[in-house]
Every structure is written in C-alpha cells, then in structure tokens.
Structure 1
C-alpha cells in the first residue's frame, strides 16, 4: 500500500489520450500510482502522457484498443496486468466526439455510435476487469458521467443519455460485487476546459448566449479543469473512499444547485 492509499499495481485509464483522461492519468501519477494509458487512435498523445508520467519517476505503459471490441479490451487488461503486476483501478474516460444536437436532429447513426462506445465499451471493460479484481482481492471502477444527469442540457443528449446507462450499471456493480471488495462510483462532469468543450467552442457550437446562461447556473464562476476531475477520480479509487460505492460525485461547479 502506498502512502496515498493504493495497493501495488496500476490504474488503467480507458480514454487516457483524451482531454479529461490525460488529466486523470496525471493525477494518479501524482499520487504515486503507475498508470496504464488506454487509447484508440492517438498513439502520439498516449505516448506523450506516458512519457510525462515516467519523467516523474512513476511507471507508465500505453495500450491500444477499440473499446467496442470485447477481445481488444480484454487484451488491454491482460497487457496492463503483465506490465504492472496488477490493475486495481479502471477509470472509464472513453467516449466519442459528439456534436450538439437536439433529440429531434439526432440520426440513428449518431445514436448507435454513442451507445457502442459509451455503453458497450464500458460493459466490455467491466467484463474484462471483474475476474481480475475478484482474484486480486478487490478493485475499483470510476466512470466519468455527466452533470446533465441532474439537469438536462439541451443538445447534449448524445453524451448524457448513454452515460445514464453506465450510471445504472455502476450501481449494479456496486451492489453485486461488493462482496468481493469491488467498488464502483461515478463522477458527474461539468463544463471542463479540456476534451470536447474547447473543440465545440472553436466550432461555434456554443454561442455567447449559451456561455452566459451556463455561467449564471454555476455556483463557482469558472469552468472546471482536468485536474478537478483527476483528483476526484483518485479519491474515489483510493483507500480514502474504501467505504464509498455506488455513488455519484458531482464535479460541476454547482451546476445542479
């Protein structure tokens, strides 16, 4: 057990090359936890993140997979275990880039892609990790959900709705797997200065009216930062949250108040 409350082994971050995933990976490294950085196509980004982690003296590895393919996800889990001896934490930060569209404007293809990556992908990760967690004496799942679960954000349904399925699965994991010392919790993510938000902003999908209205709804008058999410993930995965499972931690700046 390290000084920050983690056993030997690594945190496996699915979506570790994404804007939020990078922040999560770095915060685990700051807690002295080795990191397995999962990615789909951004090998250069994943290697850069792993390099930054190694520069701090913490072990890191990179692993490529299409999360919609169960065999590839299982191979990543096995490779991470081989590299680090154990995986004690799985963080689900993977997700497709989704455009802001009203439900009436979504296409079946939009919906199918969101479900395949967010929901089927997370299920694949859970199925792969559970036997290892049980055999290792326990483990922790942390998913990145959405602040939209408490207050629906117009046009963000392709992100919010699939994540809602994962929220239910998190509770099921917590209920069924707690007897094996397996915990599962989620972080409700607000507007963060990383990931999709800067891209959507640059594309003009958020206008000044949206920015002003959203800021008015925040109790903390700023956008979140990747480290805000990363620190929450580290807490939920650590022994500091050893009696916390099946819960949602809202990191939204008070968006839902």
Structure 2
C-alpha cells in the first residue's frame, strides 16, 4: 500500500485475534504500531511475531478515559504523531437479552461503544490539527443485520457505524477519513471461548458455514488488507463507509 512507511498506527485489542493480524499487516507495510491491550503479555507476543518492525505495547483499558488520553500522549512522545487509529478492542458474551442484567449491559457498552468514543476523542483532534489521519473502526455484521443473543453488542456496533459516519462528515475538510470494517463470523479466541469444543460446537460451526456462500468462516488475516488500504494513500477517497467482509454472508 502507498504512503504507510514510517507512519504511526494505534491498534486497540492488538494482542490476539483480529487485532494481532491487523498489527502484523500494518507493521509489514512499514508502520510503527502501538498496541493498546489489557494484556501486555499478548501484546509483546504480537510484537515478537512482527520481527524487526517497530511494535510497542501499552497496557490500556479503552473504557478508561484518562488512561486512553495518557496512553495516546505517550505514544506520540515515543513514536511520533498518530496517523491511523484502528479501534478493534471488543467484548461480548452471547446470551438471550431477557436473561441479562444492567451490569452486563454496562460492561458491553463501556468496551464496545464508550471505549471507541474515548479513543476518538484522544486522537481525532490531534489529527484534525495536523490536517490528516485515518480512523478505521472494526464494527460487525451484527450491526447490519442483528444477531440473536447479541442484542446489546449489536446495538453498540450499530452505534459505532452511525458515529463513524458522523465523524467522517465532521472531519472530512480536515483531511481525516473515518470508515468501518464489518467482519462476519471469525475464527478467533473469543469465538472459541463462546462456542467451546465438542460435537455441539462443531454442529454450530457447520450450520454457520452453510449460510456463508464462500463456505468457511473468516480468519483474522481476511480483514488486514482492507484495514491497510483504508489507512493508506490508496484509500484517500474513501470515507464514511461500512464495509462488510463476511464471505458473502451479508450482501447489503
């Protein structure tokens, strides 16, 4: 991709799963990457996989406004001005909405929606002052079609898409572009923890695959190319979009 060499990127939740794949691709494109993750050990493991690339980890809870502000300032002091913000951190525990409680709602909202507001607020103003930057939010196809047993998560991701479109309009004249990437079902540690193992888990996966035209679930690497494109000069005329990458599961 054009224009990424030497640029600074922040990837939240970059210690594993989709986030790790995004970190490794941006590092391979020449970015200096800052990982924000609750697990510095996972972040360091990702950094090792990046070889000689500049990849550093900050332990950050994205739902903590003050922690996010401090971490962004530290990244800019250490690596330089942030060019790309990739909001990937997320969490959910699929279950019927009617058996959940307000404490669960608050946790899902704090991580999946408020956490993104915190990172945007910390970074977008800096980008606008400098006259350029890229924001890529990892939403979900759950936001576009709704997903059973993920009502609050789907609401957060839907809100993130709407927020992204609004920010894209606000910041376009400042040279800051904002887009969403919407993954479909993906083979990640979080999915494994939800689905579990054994015959029932395999039946669930098989049923999911039958609904995907490309006949497989996603892998973390399937999203890395699009994120790199949106962060690069090749994506300089794309903003306010929600791009589905789901093997054809959703065609909207």
SS state of the match for residue 208, structure 2? Answer: helix
Match of 2:11 in 1: 13
Match of 1:149 in 2: 143
Match of 1:114 in 2: 108
Where structure 2 has 5 or more consecutive residues not aligned to the other structure, the ranges are none
Deviations 1:137-184 (A, max 9, x none): 211111111112232221122422211111111001100010100111
Which of these residues, 90, 98, 101, is aligned with residue 95 of structure 1? 90
Report the number of matched residues: 251
Do 2:5 and 2:29's aligned partners in 1 also have CA atoms closer than 8 Å? Answer: no
Match of 1:76 in 2: 71
Do 1:145 and 1:160's aligned partners in 2 also have CA atoms closer than 8 Å? Answer: no
Do 2:213 and 2:249's aligned partners in 1 also have CA atoms closer than 8 Å? Answer: yes
Do 1:9 and 1:84's aligned partners in 2 also have CA atoms closer than 8 Å? Answer: no
Deviations 1:93-128 (A, max 9, x none): 1112x2211121221111110111111110010110
Match of 2:25 in 1: 27
Match of 1:220 in 2: 214
Deviations 1:44-63 (A, max 9, x none): 1111112222x2x3211111
Match of 1:45 in 2: 42
Aligned-residue offset at 1:228: 0.8
Do 1:183 and 1:246's aligned partners in 2 also have CA atoms closer than 8 Å? Answer: yes
Q: Calculate the aligned-residue CA RMSD, in Å.
A: 1.8
Deviations 1:41-95 (A, max 9, x none): x111111112222x2x321111111211111101111111112111100000111
CA distance in 2, matches of 1:10, 1:241: 16
Aligned-residue offset at 1:240: 0.7
Aligned-residue offset at 1:17: 1.3
CA distance in 2, matches of 1:130, 1:168: 16
Which of these residues, 141, 164, 180, is aligned with residue 174 of structure 2? 180
Matched, 1:60 2:55: yes
